[in-house]
Amino acid sequence: MQNLMKQWIAMMGDDPEREGLRRTPERTAEAWSFLTRGYQQDPAALLNSSMFEVEANHMVIVRDIEIYSICEHHLLPFFGTCHIGYIPRGKVVGVSKLARLADLFARRLQVQERLTNQIARTLMDTLKPEGVGVIIEAQHLCMMMRGVEKQHSRMVTSAMLGSFHDSVATRNEFLHLSNHYHSG
């Protein structure tokens, strides 16, 4: 990667050996390793490491989870918040694992639609809850810095599985508690 970065800097018209850029290929390789660390993590292992049996069937929500990802189309960042809710059916997962799961999938080359679905589907398949809801609201630098250059645009995606999909009341409760419910 370091050799590719040197070539890339030269192709842009700058000198990769000048003082300010001399260590840029090394720093860039380290940064990309960090930004894409989700490829080295197993979502099922993450969740199974902190799963607990409980007698609870009320909605569990963690909202305003900060996410940072890289758009696979332009390799530019997108960032925002993720809200995750589920209704347990005998098992809950440690609350920090929900944030870690969002981060695990966000730290891969992504599109927001797939990221939202991956989080929801993994929770549904691993926990086997009554239902799962995930909402992500993000700003995309590929829209803000280039192309249409719309600085205040946000993309909102949602995935509703199980009772969150089938029951209007459950879905509305999740939307209300995650501050995404707008009546009338």
Q: What is the pLDDT of residues 74-108, one digit of tens each?
A: 999 999 999 999 999 999 999 999 999 999 999 99
Question: Mean pLDDT over residues 135-155, rounded?
Answer: 92
Of all residues in the chain, the percent with pLDDT exceeding 90 is 90
pLDDT (tens digit per residue) in 151-167: 899 999 999 999 999 99
The pLDDT score that the predictor gives to residue 182 is 53
Phi, psi for 167 (deg, rounded to 5): -110, 115
Tokens encoding 63: 């909202």
Distance in angstroms (rounded) separating the CA atoms of residues 79 and 68: 4
CATH hierarchy code of domain 52-177: 3.30.1130.10
pLDDT higher than 90, residue 27: yes
Is it the case that residue 183 has pLDDT exceeding 80?
A: no
Residues with active-site annotation: 71-74, 112, 140, 142
Task: Say how far apart CA 184 and CA 181 lie, in whole Å.
Answer: 10
pLDDT the model gives residue 151: 87
Distance between CA atoms of residues 61 and 73, nearest Å: 31
Extents of the domains making up the chain: 2-35, 52-177
| Category of 42 on φ-ψ map: left (φ > 0), alpha (ψ -120 to 50) or beta | beta
Name residues whose C-beta falls within 8 Å of residue 182's C-beta, 6 or more positions apart in sequence: none
Q: For residues 156 and 62, what is the distance between their CA atoms, to the nearest angstrom? A: 17
CA dist., res. 83 & res. 62, Å (int): 6
108 DSSP assignment: S
Question: Where does the pLDDT of residue 65 fall: very low under 50, low under 70, confident under 90, or very high at 90 and above?
Answer: very high
Average pLDDT over residues 35-50: 96
